[in-house]
Amino acid sequence: MTTASSVLRRVAVRWRADPLDVGIVLVVLAVIVAGALTTRFFSLANGRAILASSAWVGITAIGATVVMIAGSAVSLAVSQTATVAAMIFLETQQFGLPAAIILTVASGVAITALQGAVIGFWTANPIVLTIAAGFAIDGVAIWISGGTTVYPRNAAFGSLNDTPAGLPLAVFVLLVLAVAFQWFLRRTTAGRQMYLLGENPAAARAAGLPVGRVTVIAWALFGGCIALTGIFLAAFNTSANSSLGGTLSLDVIAAVLVGGTAIGGGKGSALRTLGGAVLIAAISDLLLLRGFSTGIQLLVKGILVLMVVIAIHVRSNRRRR
């Protein structure tokens, strides 16, 4: 009896120590209850729709998680990079699908890793640098494309729009990436170094960590993820113009933050980001099914981001005491 109550108390103490988890559980419960009261929310088709709508943002958000964990905060050049990746992908269709994918991912990695190098080796401010990079990428893209919409000469990408098991291919890519990045972050030296670097850059530098190289690796992985999102965007829209990326930059940050990754670095996980992306998609879907406008969907998304951010900081403030 005493052991049972002490176990209970310990559970209760642990529970109280984590307002973030309490908050997330409450939000998920609220979604489940509201979903149960909404016709067609708990149907296979709707589940697929939720996963499908989280895939594009989710893929890039997984990469953004790594960068945020490594302490580089955020990139404001994501939309532009994804747009350029989509254009490159469509322009290289004549070389066949594998070559087009490789070329696109390679250019995404190159563009983004270059920014990572400036941040890692020169300790440039990521926000200023990525605003500059966004202008540069967009400017060069419009210069080369002449500001017109890019259409592929032949469409080798048809198979990317396949839906095995009723789910878009992008969903499978998202799931595989989430698991792979989780493994990378937890189990590899480079991954562990990213947590250390984000937690305390000065200590990481003092400990002789290759700060520049670790930062470049994080940004290179991010660039690969952005390029993949660009590829799926291109395949879905079958053309690309300079506004294709839309609000991707901010959607990605929202998904990473809702997943509980700390903006200051050092904490976070790829699987939680996957959860964040799916949760945002599920809530938007629920509001849509209940007939709320896109405005209300945005409003709720913003409030969700605020709540999670507050919960994270209430938790870390309490730990500090």
Q: Which residues bind other proteins (CB under 8 A)?
A: 73-74, 76, 118, 121-125, 127-129, 131-136, 138-140, 142-143, 147, 247, 249-250, 253-254, 257, 263-264, 293-306, 309-310, 313-314, 317
- The distance of closest approach from Cβ of residue 232 to other proteins in the complex, given in angstroms and rounded to an integer, is 22
- The distance of closest approach from Cβ of residue 165 to other proteins in the complex, given in angstroms and rounded to an integer, is 33
Which lies closer to other proteins via its Cβ, residue 156 or residue 305?
305
Which lies closer to other proteins via its Cβ, residue 170 or residue 301?
301
- Tokens matching residue 26: 């409450």
Which lies closer to other proteins via its Cβ, residue 132 or residue 155?
132
Which lies closer to other proteins via its Cβ, residue 61 or residue 235?
61
Which lies closer to other proteins via its Cβ, residue 169 or residue 288?
288
- The distance of closest approach from Cβ of residue 139 to other proteins in the complex, given in angstroms and rounded to an integer, is 3
Question: Which residues does 214 contact at the CB level (< 8 Å), separation at least 6?
Answer: 70, 120, 190, 193, 194, 197, 204
- The distance of closest approach from Cβ of residue 96 to other proteins in the complex, given in angstroms and rounded to an integer, is 30
- The distance of closest approach from Cβ of residue 2 to other proteins in the complex, given in angstroms and rounded to an integer, is 38
Which lies closer to other proteins via its Cβ, residue 47 or residue 212?
212
Which lies closer to other proteins via its Cβ, residue 267 or residue 313?
313
- The distance of closest approach from Cβ of residue 295 to other proteins in the complex, given in angstroms and rounded to an integer, is 3
Which lies closer to other proteins via its Cβ, residue 146 or residue 164?
146
In angstroms, rounded to a whole number, what is the distance separating the alpha carbons of residues 108 and 130?
14
- The distance of closest approach from Cβ of residue 298 to other proteins in the complex, given in angstroms and rounded to an integer, is 3
In angstroms, rounded to a whole number, what is the distance separating the alpha carbons of residues 250 and 247?
6
- The distance of closest approach from Cβ of residue 158 to other proteins in the complex, given in angstroms and rounded to an integer, is 32
